[in-house]
């Protein structure tokens, strides 16, 4: 088990090292043009929508569980 944990830690650390060395030209261009804020706002809008959906779904499931427990 210790071997697997050590292997996993080494793999993750090597991936992060590789990711830091890469120069991403697209992100630099978006930042230079000021479009990075549009990308961030769209991503945040999608995440907020997902969280609202999950919150509403959780409330509906709770209501259904209460109805089922009343019938039983």
Which of the four pLDDT bands, split at 50, 70 and 90, describes residue 20?
Answer: low
- Whether 21 has a pLDDT exceeding 70, the answer reads no
Comparing 1-15, 40-54, 56-70, the range with the smallest average pLDDT is: 1-15
Q: What integer is the mean pLDDT of 16-26?
A: 63
- Whether 36 has a pLDDT exceeding 60, the answer reads yes
Ramachandran assignment for 22, one of left (phi > 0), alpha (psi -120 to 50 degrees), beta (any other): beta
Q: Tell me if residue 57 falls in helix, strand or coil.
A: helix
Gap between the Cα atoms of 5 and 17, Å rounded: 18
- Whether 37 has a pLDDT exceeding 80, the answer reads yes
* pLDDT for the residue numbered 32: 84
């Amino acid at each position: 088990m210790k071997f697997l944990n050590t292997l996993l830690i080494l793999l993750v650390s090597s991936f992060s090292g590789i990711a830091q060395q890469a120069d991403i030209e697209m992100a630099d261009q978006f930042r230079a043009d000021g479009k990075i804020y549009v990308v961030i706002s769209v991503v945040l809008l999608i995440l907020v929508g997902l969280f609202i959906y999950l919150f509403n779904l959780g409330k509906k499931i709770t209501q259904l569980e209460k109805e089922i427990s009343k019938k039983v």
